Amino acid sequence: MAEPQHVPVLLEESLKFLNVRLGGVIADATLGLGGHSEAIARRLGAAGRLICFDRDAQAMGFARARLAKLAEELGGRMPQVEFVERPFSEIAMVVGPGTLDGLLADFGVSSLQLDEAHRGFSFRQEGPLDMRMDRRGGLTAEQVVNQADEEDLANLIYEFGEERRSRRIARAIVRARPITTTAELARVVSAVAPPIKRSERGHGGGGQIHPATRTFQALRIRVNDELGEIQALLGAVTGAESLLKPGGRVAMISFHSLEDRLVKDAFREADRRGDLEVLTRKPVTAGEEEALRNPRARSAKLRAAERSSNGRAR
């Protein structure tokens, strides 16, 4: 399989807030295809250490190859790189308190997952309703769609998709069952819900978003327990037993309001307690040039915080 195209979002902004230095220890909690990690590795030097987490074995394989090429290029200037094929919620089982100079997390679905039809993440391609980031086990989207009762399905779509038409959509899904492919589900949703205006999702500009967007988001979040994963990671970096060293920094990139709200609230609470200092009073977003070059960056929001020199925020 050819190496997929990948453009890391908010790359320069991430590097700026992480303040990557020679010899540092950085964790990339969401390795994906390795775009952010490659840039970080270039700045760490031979004495540095990069710890890469991802539960998606396919993405991990591509990222390993990418960083192997970088090692050939850098030679003796390549930092030590560790690959951890586990969900980032388990980071505290691998990394001890006060270990990291920086941690980066780029939440949500990767370009690889969206572009591979057989992964079942996208309504734009025909594929099985899977949506699992870790395909070694767990419920698939097909099981959720076909086994959940109508009320639970409606609540899921409303809570995780922020979809006001959730009851109408859930009713249509139940009536159409069994549904086994992404295209079937997209057709069912489109038949009962009109397209979404971009302004409804907080995007600038005109145009419309496919009516199945929020339903697919909700199912993906449920299948992968994405919000629970984020909460666990936040707990590992924002508390008194943070994985960050004094002066260490955390940068997190979110793609929808549910993710961003978790990060914002956790950072603010940690700042209030004196455990972290928030560096981004407002989220950092992509500039016009990046948004045109990489449409995925349009909805990205980066928030960053720092642990003070004495383990408490200044």
Cα torsion 270, 304, 51, 91: sign: positive
Strands 100-106 and 244-254, sheet pairing: parallel
The rounded average pLDDT for each run of 10 residues, N- to C-terminus, in the chain (314 residues) is: 72 97 98 97 98 96 97 97 97 97 93 86 94 94 98 98 97 98 97 78 61 96 97 95 97 97 98 96 96 90 89 48
Distance separating alpha carbons of residues 83 and 64, to the nearest angstrom:
8
State how many domains the chain has: 2
- Considering the domain architecture, whether residues 123 and 171 belong to the same structural domain is answered as yes
Spatial CB neighbours of 85, under 8 Å, sequence gap ≥ 6 = 54, 55, 57, 60
- Considering the domain architecture, whether residues 216 and 167 belong to the same structural domain is answered as yes
pLDDT at residue 278, as a whole number: 98
Distance separating alpha carbons of residues 166 and 158, to the nearest angstrom:
5
Tokens 């540095």 belong to which residue? 48
Q: Tell which of 194, 226, 258 closes a domain.
A: 226
Do 49 and 25 form a contact (C-beta atoms < 8 A)? yes
Which CATH number is 52's domain given? 3.40.50.150
Q: Tell which of 186, 207, 226 closes a domain.
A: 226
Q: Quick one: tokens of 50?
A: 């990069």
- Considering the domain architecture, whether residues 42 and 76 belong to the same structural domain is answered as yes
- Considering the domain architecture, whether residues 202 and 162 belong to the same structural domain is answered as yes
* Residue whose C-alpha is closest to residue 163's, from 102, 214, 230: 214
Which CATH number is 124's domain given? 1.10.150.170
**Residue 311 resides in a domain:** no
Distance separating alpha carbons of residues 226 and 24, to the nearest angstrom:
28
pLDDT at residue 233, as a whole number: 98
Q: How many other C-beta atoms lie within 10 A of the C-beta of residue 255?
A: 19
DSSP β-bridge partners for residue 284 = 302
pLDDT at residue 205, as a whole number: 47
pLDDT at residue 203, as a whole number: 43
Domain housing 22: 11-112+227-306
Tokens 């190859």 belong to which residue? 65
- Considering the domain architecture, whether residues 208 and 122 belong to the same structural domain is answered as yes
Spatial CB neighbours of 163, under 8 Å, sequence gap ≥ 6 = 157, 169, 214, 215, 218
Do 211 and 169 form a contact (C-beta atoms < 8 A)? no
Q: Tell which of 161, 191, 226 closes a domain.
A: 226
Do 30 and 9 form a contact (C-beta atoms < 8 A)? no
**Residue 78 carries which DSSP code?**
P
13, amino acid identity: E
Do 210 and 123 form a contact (C-beta atoms < 8 A)? yes
- Considering the domain architecture, whether residues 77 and 217 belong to the same structural domain is answered as no
Distance separating alpha carbons of residues 137 and 229, to the nearest angstrom:
16
Number of H helices, E strands in the chain: 12, 9
Tokens 């090692």 belong to which residue? 71
Spatial CB neighbours of 124, under 8 Å, sequence gap ≥ 6 = 210
- Considering the domain architecture, whether residues 256 and 284 belong to the same structural domain is answered as yes
- Considering the domain architecture, whether residues 122 and 202 belong to the same structural domain is answered as yes
- Considering the domain architecture, whether residues 124 and 164 belong to the same structural domain is answered as yes
